[in-house]
Structure formats: structure tokens, C-alpha cells
Amino acid sequence: MTRRRARTRANLLQAAFRVFAAKGFGRVSIEEVCEAAGYSRGAFYSNFTTLDELFFALYRERADLIAGQVFGALAPDGPDLDVGAAVDRVTEVLLLDLDWLLVKTDFLVHAARDPAVAATLSEHRARLRGAIAGRLAGAHARTPLPAVLGDADGAAHAVVAAYDGVTVQLLLDRDVDGARAWLRQLLTALLTDGSGTAARTH
């Protein structure tokens, strides 16, 4: 891909993000995306074959950004993860953007009606959970995970579920600071003894 084409593709994705967030995926046309980006239909079709393909690309771009934020926040402790400190870092840096959540919700609804889309989404979520589980597996040296979660895989499922729940509430009340505080409380309760300090083994 040439530098110019890469720039065109990036601009189309950025414009599509704005339009999808404002109007919803099912209500947006290729012409509207092109107009928002300042390009012709030819520029669109030189990068994407359909609006669905663009939507997939946009979702992957943003989802990868969030995954990168989570991985980066989990990395500093090395092999022995300090869960309490990691929770603080994750909730501090995690993208809680209302426009992204609107687009993500559209994508979830789209996936619910299309098995191929659902498979792609499930694969991405499984990779994210796997990466989180891998880091949580190293937590036992400092903070044993609650037995009720089963193992690191179960804990990773709980982390993603907590994030999903908080973002749904955020869509309704639009309180980003409150969402960060609530997510921190949930993750602390899920992954430690709930006090914010390492649980002691007996």
C-alpha cells in the first residue's frame, strides 16, 4: 500500500467513525462517508469493496487500540502481576469514548444478525480474553485470584463482562468519570479480596 493510499484509507476510516457515531451504521451510505472525508466514490472503492468491509476495518482498528491499552497497563509488573496496581492502570488509561461505544453497539447488533460477523467478533474477544488470562495467570505470586472465578480464564471472562456492563451504563448516563470509578471498584472486587490490597493466603 502506498503512503498516499494509506492516508486516504485512514481519512475514510476517521470520517466513517464520525458519521457512524452520529447516525448509526444502518443509516449511513457510502456517499455520506465520502462526503465527510472529502473523497469521491472511486477513492472509497479503491480501499473498500463495501460499507460492511469499512465497518469491520473500523471496528478492528478501535478494538486493537483498546487491546493495546489493556496490554500496556498489564505489562509493567513483569511475570508477577500486581493485580491492584494493574487495575488502577487499566481503569486510568482505558478508552471510554461515547462515540466509540455507539459504533461498538451498532457492531454488536450487526453481529447478532449475521453469523459471519459474530464469528469475527467472537474471535477478537477470545484473543483479548486470552491475553488478559495470560497476565492474570502470573498474579498468584502477589494476589491469589478469588476461587469463585475458577482460574485465570474465568477471571478474564469476568473482566471483559465488567467492562461491557460499565460501558452500557456509560451510554445511558454519559458519566465518564463515574464509569472509571465504578470499573475500578468492580475489577478490584472481582480480582482481589475487594479491599484494594493483596489477599493473604492462609
pLDDT in tens, 136-158: 887 666 667 788 888 889 989 99
pLDDT tens per residue across span 96-115: 888 989 998 988 898 899 99
Average pLDDT, the chain: 86
The pLDDT of residue 197 is above 50: no
Sign of CA dihedral 40, 114, 109, 96: negative
pLDDT tens per residue across span 159-172: 999 999 999 999 99
CA 9 to chain centre: 21
Local confidence band at 1 (pLDDT 50, 70, 90 cut-offs): low
Residue 194 backbone zone (phi > 0: left; psi -120 to 50: alpha; other: beta): left
pLDDT tens per residue across span 117-139: 899 889 888 888 888 888 888 76
Residue 24 backbone zone (phi > 0: left; psi -120 to 50: alpha; other: beta): left
* Those residues with Cβ within 8 angstroms of residue 109's Cβ, 6 or more apart along the chain or in another chain: none
Let me know: does 122 contact 63? Beta carbons within 8 Å.
no
Task: Say what the pLDDT of residue 85 is.
Answer: 86
Count of CB atoms situated within 10 Å of the CB of 86: 23
Nearest CA among 196, 201, 2 for reference residue 82: 196
